[in-house]
């Protein structure tokens, strides 16, 4: 079936390191992806998004890379800080622009940043 999943359930890094969180998706028709950050006991927080007509998009300290050939998405966090510790989800918008849109979330990766 169609799914959006993550390769690594937990990623531990040192403060200041760069972090890379990966995501694989199986629906080749998806053309919009979002990364969310979720802290314990809170709702997801939007980080960055990317459309399928792009292969890279940069934000503040974050970069999302999209490889449609292998259906792979990654989130890069530069100079990781303890405040970045959270669970990160990739999500896929199904049927964007048609009025019937829903988010399908991946399984999540926990990022642990030690000082």
Partner 1 sequence: GAVVSQHPSRVICKSGTSVKIECRSLDFQATTMFWYRQFPKKSLMLMATSNEGSKATYEQGVEKDKFLINHASLTLSTLTVTSAHPEDSSFYICSARDASGGYEQYFGPGTRLTVT
Per CB under 8 A, residues contacting partner 1 are: 32, 34, 36, 41-46, 49, 89, 93, 96-97, 101-108
Cα 95 from chain centroid?
19
Residue 65 CB, shortest distance to partner 1, in Å, is 20
Residue 13 CB, shortest distance to partner 1, in Å, is 20
Q: Give the Cβ contact number of residue 80 at 10 Å.
A: 22
CB nearer to partner 1: give 80 or 109.
Answer: 109
Instruction: Give dist(CA 49, CA 58) in Å, integer.
Output: 9
Instruction: Give dist(CA 16, CA 112) in Å, integer.
Output: 12
Residue 48 CB, shortest distance to partner 1, in Å, is 11
CB nearer to partner 1: give 25 or 32.
Answer: 32
CB nearer to partner 1: give 19 or 44.
Answer: 44
Helix (H) and strand (E) counts in the chain: 0, 11
């Amino acid at each position: 079936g169609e799914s959006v999943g993550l390769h690594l359930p937990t990623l531990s890094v040192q403060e200041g390191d760069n972090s890379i969180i990966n995501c694989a998706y199986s629906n080749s028709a998806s053309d919009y992806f979002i990364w969310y950050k979720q802290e314990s006991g809170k709702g997801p927080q939007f980080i960055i998004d990317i459309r399928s007509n792009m292969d890279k998009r940069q934000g503040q300290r974050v970069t999302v890379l999209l490889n449609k050939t292998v259906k792979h998405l990654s989130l890069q966090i530069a100079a990781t800080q303890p405040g970045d510790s959270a669970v990160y989800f990739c999500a896929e918008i199904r049927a964007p622009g048609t009025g019937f849109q829903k988010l399908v979330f991946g399984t999540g990766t926990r990022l642990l940043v030690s000082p």
